[in-house]
Amino acid sequence: MLKYFFRRNRKELDDEIGAVLVEMGRLGPTHDEYPEQLALLERLEELKANNRQKPMSRDTMLLGGANLLAVVAIAWIERTSVMTSKGFTFIRPMKTQ
């Protein structure tokens, strides 16, 4: 899950794409190596497109929103009711003699 927060691969691909573009600019379109550089650029762009993070689905957003709503509802009920759910753990039974 933490891999979504790191963008190291994307930056490395951007650097490689930049280097290929600089080399293509230096060579010019009439040079013999230009088609090879163009093919390399197309492969790097395809890798970058496949590496993009997919958007979150509506089901996941709905589930997260429902869970958040449940937490807020429980907190509101605990705040407004006379006795909270945590309060029951502190009640000791009365000793009868």
| Residues of the domain holding 74 | 55-90
pTM for this structure? 0.47
**The length of the chain, given as a count of residues:** 97
How confident is the model over 23-49, as pLDDT tens digits?
888 888 888 888 898 899 999 888 887
Q: How many domains does the chain have?
A: 2
The DSSP line for 12-32 is HHHHHHHHHHHHHHHH-TTST
54 or 94, greater pLDDT? 54
In a domain, 84, yes or no: yes
One domain for residues 2 and 48:
yes
For the segment 46-64, the average pLDDT, to the nearest whole number, is 81
